[in-house]
Amino acid sequence: MEQRLYLYPVWLRIWHWINAVLFLLLLFTGLSLQYSSVEFSFIDFDLAVTMHNVSGIIITIAYFMFLFGNMFTSNGRFYKAKRKGYISDLIVQIKYYTYGIFIHQKTPFPVTENRKFNPLQKLSYVASMYFLLPILILSGFALIFPEIIIKNVFGVSGIHLTGLVHIISGFSLSIFLFIHVYFCTIGKTPLANFKSMINGWH
Amino acid sequence: MTGFIAKSTIIGVMSLWMIVSATASNPEEDEIVFENAGFNHKCFNCHGQKTYHYFNQSTEKEVKDRMNPYFVIDSVAFYQSNHRNFMCTDCHSSDYENFPHNGELRMEPQFTCMDCHGGDPTFAQYQFERIEEEFQQSVHSTKHSNDFTCWMCHNPHTYKINARNNLNINEVIIYDNNICLSCHADINKYQLLSDQTNPNVLVTHDWLPNQALHFSKVRCIECHTEIDKEMLIAHKVQVKEKAVKRCVECHSQNSLLMATLYKFQTVEKRNKLGFFNAAILSDHYIIGANRNYYLNVASLIIFGLTLLGITIHAIIRIMSK
């Protein structure tokens, strides 16, 4: 019997599911604000604003939980940039996902105690958690306190630019969300990875 | 040496250009002539300042006294106003030319806007008749006596057309909101018409998210008047229960601000960069109203391709099992 690995500690699972629920809430309320209409709305504009702001603040606190967790536990090692040859590893992984998986090749970077993520996962998680999400959080807080935003940037409203950055980074993360959920079905069974994020064992 | 000459020439040409540009005058500014400034100066000599001088014949002394602040007219503001070419005695009695002024002159009836502007085809574009009609239906007229005249909001000594010809939307907002605040933030003027104390607008609007931002980016009349698309400036101020309170009225693609605050701006549906309600974007940004057509299309394409990619990948996975 294959050895089971305990890869998802309790704090990480709690953070993950809080983050997931809040992100969905933010996505739903954010879309509702961006496409608000007098004739039809899923949710009242003012309620959507409140829910979006409160969820944004909680997801920020959760993000710090994630950052501290990675800083002070061994989970952080999975996000660190790797040795030389990363690009070629990445190409191998992309080839696997676009071809090898269909002809039942073995995964080129199987999960081990020291390698939770394959190269493509590592890239997408680092980009999401250390690049896009901080931009989303910072621009979101700027929009909660718009008086701190520079009024005019080369003739364009600073709030407008901040809004665009917030929307584009939010949209990019929501695309990540869809791909992330789909790729989670690529496990021993389609539900195996989802179960892992509940019980902690891979 | 050649380099020195070249640099000197460039600096010389630039200096000459700067001097010429600085001294070149705007021909339009040259044309401004204040027809009656000479005559009005006699009035502004006292009423344009906080103090005035006169010779008291009873005491045979030169007297310097304080002018009643409510009778001080800002001459700079007057000569920037729409009535700048008026003589003071066009509206006030010519008997004011005598000093001391006859006390009974204070009882003279004052002109209203319609006395001059009503029924005059010259002013047809300003729709004074419709403005009066709307005003008669407004809470200012129905809840107050006839003492509430145009002058309460539009000071004839300083009034100038604003929203119609000012491209700086922030200035338009400040100018128009100051008209409302001249009563609603000043108990002395407010109580000219009411025995009550004026409600604190900061408290009555404490429900409004980002209150300071809203107050500096939109005018009171955006929410407090009934919008009539035929009217250039709405004058039918409504009771507070009828004020706009639904966020989406402004925060949507069909934002009512396009029929009010931004009516005089370029009101094309989309600008060349694809922003809906682009007139707003010069200084402001309104969530829900300033969507971008191209970003909308791009996001739909990216989202569609993502779903398509996932679906194709999933189907091939299932088929190759």
Summarised one tens digit per residue, pLDDT across range B241-262 is 999 888 888 888 777 777 677 6
Six-digit token pair at B95?
């008997």
Does residue B8 form part of some domain? no
CB B285 within 8 A of CB A160: yes
CB A169 within 8 A of CB A136: yes
Q: ipTM of this predicted complex?
A: 0.90
- Helices A158-183 and A133-144: crossing angle in degrees, nearest 10, is 140
CB A97 within 8 A of CB A123: no
* E strand segments, chain B: 51-56, 61-66
CATH number at residue A72: 1.20.950.20
Q: What angle do CA A146, A148, A151 make, to 5 degrees?
A: 80
Q: Which domain holds residue B61?
A: 36-102
Q: Which of B251, B254, B321 to mutate to test the interface with A (most CBs of A within 10 A)?
A: B251
Number of other CB atoms surrounding residue B54 within 10 Å: 13
| Residue B96 shares a structural domain with residue B161 | no
User: Cβ contact (<8 Å) for B282 and A35?
Assistant: no
Angstrom CA distances, B248 to A35, A77, B126, stand at 10, 47, 30
| Residue B62 shares a structural domain with residue B145 | no
Indicate whether A13 pLDDT > 80. yes
Does residue A86 form part of some domain? yes
Angstrom CA distances, A197 to A112, A131, A190, B210, stand at 16, 23, 13, 39
* Dihedral sign computed on CA atoms, order B89, B92, B93, B97: negative
| Residue B139 shares a structural domain with residue B236 | yes
Least confident residue range of A39-48, B15-24, B55-64, B134-143: B15-24
Question: Residue B44 contacts by C-beta under 8 Å, 6 or more apart in sequence?
Answer: B73, B75, B78
Dist CA A12 CA A69 (whole Å):
8
Question: Residue B123 contacts by C-beta under 8 Å, 6 or more apart in sequence?
Answer: B117
Contacts of A168 in chain B (CB under 8 A): 295
Q: Which of B247, B93, B161 is nearest to A49 (CA)?
A: B247
Whole-angstrom distance between the N-terminal and C-terminal Cα of chain A?
13
Collapsing DSSP states into helix, strand and coil, what is residue B34? coil
Which of B245, B274, B299 marks a domain boundary? B245
| Residue B96 shares a structural domain with residue B139 | no
Summarised one tens digit per residue, pLDDT across range B284-317 is 677 877 778 888 899 999 999 999 999 999 999 9
Does residue A3 form part of some domain? no
Which of B194, B214, B245 marks a domain boundary? B245
The pLDDT score that the predictor gives to residue B315 is 96
> What residues of chain B, 97 to 136, have a C-beta less than 8 Å from chain A?
none
Contacts of A44 in chain B (CB under 8 A): 247
Dist CA B20 CA B183 (whole Å):
47
Does residue A72 form part of some domain? yes
Does residue A2 form part of some domain? no
Which residue from A minimizes the CA distance to B315? Answer: A102
Does residue A161 form part of some domain? yes
Which residue from A minimizes the CA distance to B314? Answer: A182
| Residue B140 shares a structural domain with residue B235 | yes
Considering only CB atoms, B306 lies closest to which of A156, A163, A178, namely A178
Dist CA B72 CA B24 (whole Å):
36
User: Cβ contact (<8 Å) for B284 and A46?
Assistant: no
Q: Which domain holds residue A105?
A: 10-199
Query: In terms of pLDDT, which residue wins out, B103 or A26?
Result: A26
User: Cβ contact (<8 Å) for B252 and A34?
Assistant: no
Indicate whether B90 pLDDT > 50. yes
Give the model's confidence band at B270: pLDDT under 50 very low, under 70 low, under 90 confident, else very high. Answer: low
Q: Does B32 touch chain A (CB under 8 A)?
A: no
| Residue B144 shares a structural domain with residue B88 | no
Give the model's confidence band at B264: pLDDT under 50 very low, under 70 low, under 90 confident, else very high. Answer: low
Number of other CB atoms surrounding residue B304 within 10 Å: 10
The pLDDT score that the predictor gives to residue A39 is 80
Collapsing DSSP states into helix, strand and coil, what is residue A153? strand
Six-digit token pair at B181?
């605040």
Q: What angle do CA A11, A55, B244 make, to 5 degrees?
A: 175
DSSP string, B175-189: HHHHHHHHHHT-HHH
| Residue B92 shares a structural domain with residue B44 | yes
Does residue B250 form part of some domain? no
Total domains in the fold of chain B: 2
Summarised one tens digit per residue, pLDDT across range B63-81 is 999 999 989 999 999 999 9
Which residue from A minimizes the CA distance to B319? Answer: A102
Q: Which of B110, B73, B116, B74 is nearest to B93 (CA)?
A: B110
Does residue A169 form part of some domain? yes
Kindly state the average pLDDT of the residues A154-182.
92
| Residue B160 shares a structural domain with residue B238 | yes
DSSP string, B143-163: SS-TT--GGGTS-TTT----T
Summarised one tens digit per residue, pLDDT across range A77-106 is 888 876 788 889 999 999 999 999 999 999
The pLDDT score that the predictor gives to residue B282 is 58
Kindly state the average pLDDT of the residues B35-47.
89
Kindly state the average pLDDT of the residues B92-96.
90
Give the model's confidence band at B321: pLDDT under 50 very low, under 70 low, under 90 confident, else very high. Answer: confident
Does residue A5 form part of some domain? no
Considering only CB atoms, A33 lies closest to which of B288, B310, B313, namely B288
Single-letter amino acid code for the residue at B185: A
Show the 3-state SS of B237-251. ECCHHHCCCCHHHCC
Total domains in the fold of chain A: 1
Indicate whether B131 pLDDT > 60. yes
CB B199 within 8 A of CB B211: no
| Residue B141 shares a structural domain with residue B194 | yes
| Residue B92 shares a structural domain with residue B153 | no
The pLDDT score that the predictor gives to residue B21 is 47
The pLDDT score that the predictor gives to residue B24 is 47
